[in-house]
């Protein structure tokens, strides 16, 4: 290639990637641990695309001892030929031009990839170094970049009989606040990727400690459902599964019922989780409601006088995965996580309707079991409704009669109000003393609140005093009555001890909110207070410290001599002033927003921790002293 041409394109390229280094958050969300892990997913997404195109069957991810990452696939290799308009090798375009990648006339679905849908060039820009090796046409090609700059041109460095792409990069310590990888964070998302791409084998190896895992599911999302239902009592063995295409939409659905009372539906568009659902989820729900009702009528299980099952009735105990792939996904809603494409609803509805009708005809015993479950759900719903009406008359759930234990705030504008849900009466007392009366309400909750996962249906749960108090204080109503516009506090803050018991109670509360007030989590109203773990005192000066890592940092700064370190076992060990200063003062505190992070752990935690299996629950609590991490930012 002519040198001149090479230089010319180079200048333009450098400008492009400089922007990424200046404002990394714009491209990868943040430069925290989350952004660090995001880099890996960006790269892996590209290799998964190659698998979706049918050219790759195996991906190997390695965390090296220096926390650099390599990703190897056995696909065709990123094209090495000169790109017709850029005039440089296509692989160099991929790594040096923003938003390039994958658009070389390849067919099939382009997975948007990652949170922000940006590509390899962003990873390159944010890496101390990145080396790409392509195995193609009998040759091994290699190129090296540093902080996005081309260090060496694409060179042939050897011969090979293999094909594939290897990318090795080290995130730039000048950019990232955190540079240490967490195996579990990577493994979780990679496992999800493997479930969503049937047949693809993904291996992850941690060279720092020798850990490795291989995820490989020939059954794809059918095995995902099996996995999510692992600790559940199943209502039927055979999993419903369909993988079909309709109007350019690939529709893959799997589901199975368990004897529980909640529904767990994971929905994905081009391998990206859509926690807020959208048209694909709507299509699925309308199909199963319709097919179950039609079958029940046709077989005279629902008589003429009977009303139809509601959608909720047909989804009690349902575990499902919906994975669709489309050419041009449109995301809407506040967080752009809700699929908006109108025609997708019809495509999913019609594929599921057709195959589920057929499935019920082939498996009448399963149809009967599912319908019986819906009958019980409908009865419980009626009972709960009657109970609610009764209690409403008694004004127990009426927001005008607030619970006696609530110390309400005086401000009436919900957007300015916050409520602290505080574990235990004594901590509740300190919090009450510490708070700002105008905007902060305190609701102390006794000991272990009800374990909703084991308690059963909503009618029983509503009878629990602690839960009744929360519902009344929130003001939103619950179940069919839920109305987020009636929420009395725009911040609901869970404040528990920093010990294992506190964690347990926090998880119980989150479980309750997840199951019955998911709208509050999705709306971003639920927060977790961060009380300090330690107080370090030196020369009459106090340092409040929130993690073991921070303690190390503080001790390094102030010196280890003559330091008095106090570990706070519970909120109760702090006086009102300390509690205010460290945890409740809006000017100084940090709050974590609870969000439904990923399906794999969320449900693993909720069912393992809360379900029937006491042995697993114990083991889980012991292993995961910090298990709310999956639900935090």
- Total residues contacting ligand TSJ by CB under 6 A comes to 19
47 binds ligand TSJ, rule: CB under 6 A: yes
Quick check: is 499 catalytic? yes
Quick check: is 304 catalytic? no
Q: Are 630 and 602 in contact (CB under 8 A)?
A: yes
476-515 positions binding ligand TSJ, by CB under 6 A: none
Nearest distance from C-beta of residue 141 to ligand TSJ, angstroms: 13
101 binds ligand TSJ, rule: CB under 6 A: yes
User: Among all residues, whose Cβ is closest to ligand TSJ?
Assistant: 46
Q: Which of 9, 68, 76, 273 binds ligand TSJ (CB under 6 A)?
A: 76
Interacting stretch for ligand TSJ, rule CB under 6 A, among 39-47, 487-495, 561-569, 609-617? 39-47
- Pick 64 or 246: Cβ nearer ligand TSJ: 64
Count of CB atoms situated within 10 Å of the CB of 570: 17
Q: Are 323 and 245 in contact (CB under 8 A)?
A: no
**495 beta partners:** 422
534-563 positions binding ligand TSJ, by CB under 6 A: none
Q: Which of 17, 37, 50, 606 binds ligand TSJ (CB under 6 A)?
A: 50
Nearest distance from C-beta of residue 131 to ligand TSJ, angstroms: 11
110-129 positions binding ligand TSJ, by CB under 6 A: 120
151-180 positions binding ligand TSJ, by CB under 6 A: 165, 167
**234 beta partners:** 258
Interacting stretch for ligand TSJ, rule CB under 6 A, among 40-48, 172-180, 419-427, 532-540? 40-48
What are the structure tokens assigned to 214, written together? 């291989």
Q: Which of 29, 82, 104, 396 binds ligand TSJ (CB under 6 A)?
A: 104
At how many degrees (to 10) do helices 500-516 and 614-623 cross? 120
CA dihedral 349, 352, 354, 356 (to 10 degrees): -140
252 binds ligand TSJ, rule: CB under 6 A: no
**Rounded CA separation 121/135 (Å):** 20
CA dihedral 486, 487, 490, 496 (to 10 degrees): 180
Beta carbons within 8 Å of 358's beta carbon, 6+ residues apart: none
**Rounded CA separation 330/395 (Å):** 44
- Pick 325 or 373: Cβ nearer ligand TSJ: 325
43 binds ligand TSJ, rule: CB under 6 A: yes
Nearest distance from C-beta of residue 45 to ligand TSJ, angstroms: 7
Q: Are 492 and 421 in contact (CB under 8 A)?
A: yes
- Residue 224 CA, chain-centre distance (Å), reads 15
Q: Is 517 helix (H, G, I), strand (E, B) or coil?
A: coil
SS3 content of the chain, % helix, strand, coil (to 5): 40, 20, 35
Q: Which of 243, 501, 612, 632 is catalytic?
A: 501
69 binds ligand TSJ, rule: CB under 6 A: no
Quick check: is 497 catalytic? yes
Site for ligand TSJ, rule CB under 6 A? 43, 46-47, 50, 71, 73, 75-76, 78-79, 94, 101-102, 104-106, 120, 165, 167
Catalytic residues: 423, 497, 499, 501
């Amino acid at each position: 290639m002519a040198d001149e041409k090479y230089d010319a394109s180079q200048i333009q390229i450098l400008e492009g990637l400089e922007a990424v280094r200046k404002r990394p958050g714009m491209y990868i969300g943040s430069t925290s641990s989350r952004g660090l892990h995001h880099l890996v997913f960006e790269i892996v997404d590209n290799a998964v695309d190659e698998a979706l195109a049918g050219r790759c069957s195996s991906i190997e991810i390695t965390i090296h001892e220096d926390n650099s990452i390599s990703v190897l696939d056995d696909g065709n290799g990123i094209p090495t030929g000169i790109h017709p308009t850029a005039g440089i090798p296509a692989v160099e375009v991929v790594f040096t031009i923003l938003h390039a990648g994958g658009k070389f006339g390849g067919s099939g679905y382009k997975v948007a990839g990652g949170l922000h849908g940006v590509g390899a060039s962003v990873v390159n820009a944010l890496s101390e170094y990145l080396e790409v090796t392509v195995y193609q046409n009998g040759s091994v090609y290699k190129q090296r970049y540093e902080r996005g700059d081309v260090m060496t041109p694409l060179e042939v460095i050897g011969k090979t009989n293999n094909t594939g792409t290897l990318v090795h990069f080290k995130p730039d310590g000048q950019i990232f606040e955190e540079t240490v990888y967490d195996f579990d964070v990577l493994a979780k998302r990679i496992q999800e990727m493997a479930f969503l791409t049937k047949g693809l084998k993904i291996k992850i190896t941690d060279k720092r400690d020798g850990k490795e895992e291989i995820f490989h599911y020939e059954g794809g999302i059918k095995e995902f459902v099996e996995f999510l239902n692992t600790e559940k009592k199943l209502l039927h063995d055979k999993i419903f599964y369909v993988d079909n295409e309709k109007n350019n939409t690939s529709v893959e659905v799997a589901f199975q019922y368990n004897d529980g009372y909640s529904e767990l539906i994971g929905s994905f568009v081009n391998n990206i989780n859509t926690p807020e659902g959208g048209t694909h989820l709507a299509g699925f729900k309308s199909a199963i409601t319709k097919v179950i009702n039609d079958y029940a009528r046709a077989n005279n299980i629902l008589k003429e006088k009977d009303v139809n099952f509601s959608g909720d009735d047909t989804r009690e105990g349902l575990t499902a995965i919906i994975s669709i792939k489309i050419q041009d996904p449109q995301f809407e809603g506040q967080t752009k996580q809700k699929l908006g494409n109108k025609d997708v609803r019809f495509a999913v509805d019609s594929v599921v309707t057709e195959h589920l009708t057929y499935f019920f005809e082939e498996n009448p015993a399963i149809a009967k079991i599912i319908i019986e479950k819906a009958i019980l759900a409908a009865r419980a719903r009626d009972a709960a409704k009657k109970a609610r009406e009764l209690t409403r008359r008694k004004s127990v759930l009426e927001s005008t009669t607030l619970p006696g234990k609530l110390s309400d705030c005086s401000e009436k504008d919900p957007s300015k109000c916050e409520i602290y849900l505080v574990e235990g009466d004594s901590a509740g007392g300190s919090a009450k003393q510490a708070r700002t009366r105008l905007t902060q309400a305190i609701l102390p909750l006794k000991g272990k609140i009800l374990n909703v996962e084991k308690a059963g249906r909503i009618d029983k749960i509503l009878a629990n005093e602690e839960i009744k108090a929360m519902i009344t204080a929130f003001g939103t109503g619950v179940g069919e009555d839920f109305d987020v516009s009636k929420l009395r506090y725009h911040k609901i803050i869970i404040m528990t001890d920093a010990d294992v018991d506190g964690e347990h109670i926090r998880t119980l509360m989150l479980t309750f909110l997840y199951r019955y007030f998911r709208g509050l989590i999705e709306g971003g109203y639920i927060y977790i207070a961060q009380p300090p773990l330690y107080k370090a005192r030196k020369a009459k000066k106090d340092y409040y410290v929130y993690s073991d890592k921070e303690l190390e940092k503080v001790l390094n700064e102030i010196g280890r001599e003559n330091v008095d370190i106090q570990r706070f076992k519970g909120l109760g060990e702090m006086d009102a002033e300390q509690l205010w200063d460290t945890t409740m003062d809006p000017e100084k505190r940090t709050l974590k927003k609870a969000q439904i992070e990923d399906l794999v752990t969320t449900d693993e935690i909720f069912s393992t921790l809360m379900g029937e299996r006491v042995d697993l629950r114990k083991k889980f609590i012991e292993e995961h002293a910090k298990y709310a991490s999956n639900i935090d930012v």
